Amino acid sequence: MKRAIRLGILVHSFDELDRYLPYFTSSDHAQAQIYLFRYRDICWKRERITAIHFADQWRRTVRPFPDVVFNRTYSSQMKRVHRLERKMGRNRVFNHITKLDKWSLYHVMNTMSASMPSTSLPKTVLYHPDTLISMIQSHPNLMIKATRSSLGRNIWWVSRSDHVYTVFQDMNTPLHTAQTSEELRTLLHMILPPTHRYLIQQKLELLQIDGRCVDFRIMIQKNRYGSWEATGSLARIAYKAYFVTNMTKQVTDIPTILERAGFSSDQITCYMRNIHRLCLHHAASIDLSGLHFGELGFDVALDTSGRIWVLEVNGKPSKKCFLQLNDHAIIKRLYTQPIAYATYLASRSRAHS
């Protein structure tokens, strides 16, 4: 009888361990032995890892190297992944990079969009003051985003109206104003932290419910056959006066939101199918970048005309927000799918050994 695979989940710290509990309680222990470890817990010389696993309670244990590693740290560096794969074998670590570069990702997805005309990506360019001044003449509302950021940090909205430029951050309340393009240049030079690289992106007029912006989180994960699959979705309603949904007032299912927005059941079915199809297309495009992912979180939205847009892709998507749906089938699927994919990777490696 084949032994259960060893799946190591690489984490930054052992704080808030209960966030990882569903990986243990949702899985079949005959299929996989799961443990958590930090990079510093690896003893490379002895080929052992001091880890934590759950069996009625959290326990420390010493384990051999896993068959597969699921990277749940937040990093843009490949050095640690490369060292692990030199020891374990190629393609044994998935979600290589979790702190994704928005510009690189946009380039990958935009290049592949030619084969899918229905794909919608907001017009996006690298930030330069001259580019901003030129672009805002044709797009009077623009977003400035750090290329590597999360949780809605380092996002500004710049608006042009009657030759007055207004800058907002997070909320619809003006933060600064400028009377001329030169004043705007000086202002942005002062407020944009120089430690980041930035994008300029057209601001979309998003669908709203009761005056609040709405977007959707779509979870795309690889299954036991190594294929991408849409495994969960939800809608996030922002607090009033916020233009980013990271400040979320309410989480609910997407069909409920679309029904409240006045769409028919047939339209809702069509939207769900097209949203999933679009995200699966982009996930396949990202695979071609050479990075190895087993799950991605897509932020998608409708504009006021009903057009679908992909806003962002997350390499370390949080599953915590899905708990608010109280849908046990979705929760189980989200936490067992990485285990199924790890089993697929391990079985391929055994077949080739």
Dump strand ranges (E) for 87-163. Answer: 93-94, 124-126, 141-146, 155-161
- Which pair of structure tokens corresponds to residue 165? 């430029």
Averaged pLDDT in 10-residue chunks for the chain of 353 residues: 85 93 81 93 96 94 96 90 92 93 90 63 92 91 88 82 90 89 93 90 92 95 97 94 79 96 97 95 91 96 94 93 93 95 87 56
Angle at 259 between CA 253 and CA 265, to 5 degrees: 100
Q: How, if at all, do strands 141-146 and 198-202 pair? A: antiparallel
- Which pair of structure tokens corresponds to residue 191? 């407020």
Length of the chain: 353
Report in angstroms the alpha-carbon separations of 96 from 31, 201, 315: 24, 26, 9
pLDDT for the residue 353? 54
Q: How far apart are the first and last CA of the chain?
A: 18
Q: What is the dihedral of CA 88, 90, 95, 97, to 10 degrees?
A: 100
Would you list the DSSP string of 339-353? HHHHHHHHHHHHHH-
pLDDT for the residue 152? 59
> How does 61-91 read in b/e, with b if 16+ C-beta sit within 10 Å?
eebebbbbbbbbbebeeeebbeebbeebbee
Rounded Cα distance between 284 and 119, Å, is: 13
At position 108, the amino acid (one-letter code) is V
This prediction's pTM: 0.93
User: Angle 265-287/102-112 helices, nearest 10 degrees?
Assistant: 110
CATH, range 5-97: 3.40.50
> Which ranges of the chain does DSSP label H, i.e. alpha helix?
21-25, 79-88, 102-112, 129-138, 181-191, 254-260, 265-287, 328-352
> How does 298-329 read in b/e, with b if 16+ C-beta sit within 10 Å?
bbbbbeeeeebbbbbbbbbbebeebbebeeee
The count of C-alpha atoms lying within 13 angstroms of the C-alpha of 163, restricted to the half-sphere facing its C-beta, is 3
Instruction: Pick the closest to residue 92 from 122, 62, 124, 70 (CA basis).
Output: 70
pLDDT for the residue 52? 96
CATH 3.30.470.20, domain 102-121+206-315, yes or no: yes
pLDDT for the residue 116? 58
| Ranges of each domain in the chain | 5-97, 102-121+206-315, 124-202
pLDDT for the residue 2? 67
Yes or no: say if 92 and 68 are a contact pair by the CB < 8 Å rule.
yes
Rounded Cα distance between 327 and 22, Å, is: 13
Would you list the DSSP string of 36-58? EE-GGGEETTTTEEEEEEEESEE
